Amino acid sequence: MSILISPDTKIMVQGITGAFGGKHAGLSIDYGTQVVAGVTPGKGGQTFEHGDVKVPIFNTVAEAAAATGASVSTIFVPPPFAADAILECVDAKIDLAVAITEGIPVKDMIRVKRAMEGSKTRLLGPNCPGVVTPGEGPDSSGGCRIGIAPGYIHKKGHVGVVSRSGTLTYEAVYQLTVKDIGQSTCVGIGGDPVNGTSHLDIIKLFNEDPETHGIILIGEIGGNAEVEAARWIKDNCTKPVAGFIAGATAPPGRRMGHAGAIVGGAEDTAEAKIKVFRECGIEVAETPSDMADALLRSAKAKGIELS
């Protein structure tokens, strides 16, 4: 198994007629993902074509879901309209909305997050690379690729990866794959201050997933999401976990004013987060080159087989 999505998952793409959305919808189709619908208001009835594959386009998310059974949407809508696109998924009771869009105003996300409370829909992102459950074909094809991650670097297996950053996720995945260690699901939760799904939400799903044997948790400075996840891991997670925090050298002067330091608390620096990781039994990757090895160290210490 895997978390959030499986190779059977049917997905729609909001913004499929844009250059970026169209390109990545095509790459997902190539990967073997079931892209069953596109949504572009005003272009309902048209078709998105990629090779021999023809994807019907609808005016609304609700229509697309009703006609095709798509349960997940990928959002490539430009920033001024992206919050509305997410709310449309909530209204249509879509299971999972994955917002790739970078640059959504914080206030829009504050409102969206509040509006989503108690709703059926889970949001991943925004400003995230998406989520990949690798398949069994060559270069991990036949899996489900939602978003913009390179599919071919993956390999089907048993490590869960969760990160705020796209390229750091790829870095970790690639390190695993060249060591012949596969992944169950790789999740980018996005780099914005207000996002849908947290590190902890994903860690809980990995913990419950019998196919996930080990976890790589990649974080950054700012906020306390990594610390929250680490404390939960200490009390609840028996699987090996490796952690990395980016931004140890980020200049403090570039943080938001003085008041941010109070509200963020004392635990939002890289140093503080790494300290908490160690206290919680997470094997810390000393450098970004060390992420896969750190997980191997942790697995070995716990006597758990990763591949």
Partner 1 sequence: MNIHEYQAKALFEQYGVPVPQGAAAKSADEFATALDSLPDGPTMVKSQIHAGGRGKGTFTNGYKGGVKFCPTKAEALSVAGEMIDNTLVTIQTGPAGRKVQTVYFTVACDIKKEYYLAILLDRSTSWPVIVASTEGGVEIEKVAEETPEKITKVFVDPAYGLADFQIRELIFSLELNKLEAKNAAKLIRKLYNCFWETDAAMIEVNPLITTPDDNVLALDAKVSFDSNALFRHPEIVALRDLNEEDPKEIEASKYDLAYIALDGNIACLVNGAGLAMSTMDIIKHYGGSPANFLDVGGGATKEKVIAAFKIILGDANVKGIFVNIFGGIMDCNVIAEGIVDAVKEVGLELPLVVRLEGNNVAAGKQTLADSGLPIVSGESMADAAQKIVNLVA
Question: What does the binding site for partner 1 look like in residue numbers (CB under 8 A)?
Answer: 27, 79-80, 103-111, 113-115, 148-150, 152-153, 163-171, 174, 191, 193-194, 218, 220-225, 228, 244, 246-251, 253-254, 256-264, 270, 286-290
The verdict on whether 258 is a catalytic residue reads yes
Q: Which helix (H) or strand (E) holds 176?
A: helix 166-178
- Looking at beta carbons only, is 132 or 241 nearer to partner 1? 132
Task: Write down the catalytic residue from 24, 50, 158, 258.
Answer: 258
Write down the least CB distance from residue 124 to partner 1, Å: 15
Checking 37-43 for CB contacts under 8 A at 24+ apart, the result is: 37/11, 37/12, 37/13, 37/64, 37/65, 37/67, 37/68, 37/70, 38/12, 38/13, 38/14, 38/64, 39/12, 39/13, 39/14, 39/15, 39/64, 39/73, 40/14, 40/15, 40/16, 43/17
Do residues 161 and 169 make contact, with C-beta atoms less than 8 angstroms apart? Answer: yes
- Looking at beta carbons only, is 14 or 163 nearer to partner 1? 163
Locate 2 and state its tokens: 């895997």
CB neighbour burial string for 127-149, b if at least 16 within 10 angstroms, e if fewer: bbbbbbbbbeeebbbbbbbbbbb
Write down the least CB distance from residue 282 to partner 1, Å: 17
* Residue 169, C-beta contacts closer than 8 angstroms, at least 6 positions apart: 129, 149, 161, 163, 186, 188, 218
Write down the least CB distance from residue 210 to partner 1, Å: 29
- Looking at beta carbons only, is 35 or 221 nearer to partner 1? 221
Locate 205 and state its tokens: 């799903």
Write down the least CB distance from residue 277 to partner 1, Å: 15
CA dist 235 and 180 (Å) reads 30
- Looking at beta carbons only, is 155 or 213 nearer to partner 1? 155
CB neighbour burial string for 50-80, b if at least 16 within 10 angstroms, e if fewer: beeeebbbbeebbebbeebebbbbbbbbeee
Write down the least CB distance from residue 10 to partner 1, Å: 23
Write down the least CB distance from residue 160 to partner 1, Å: 18
Indicate which residues carry an active-site annotation. Answer: 258
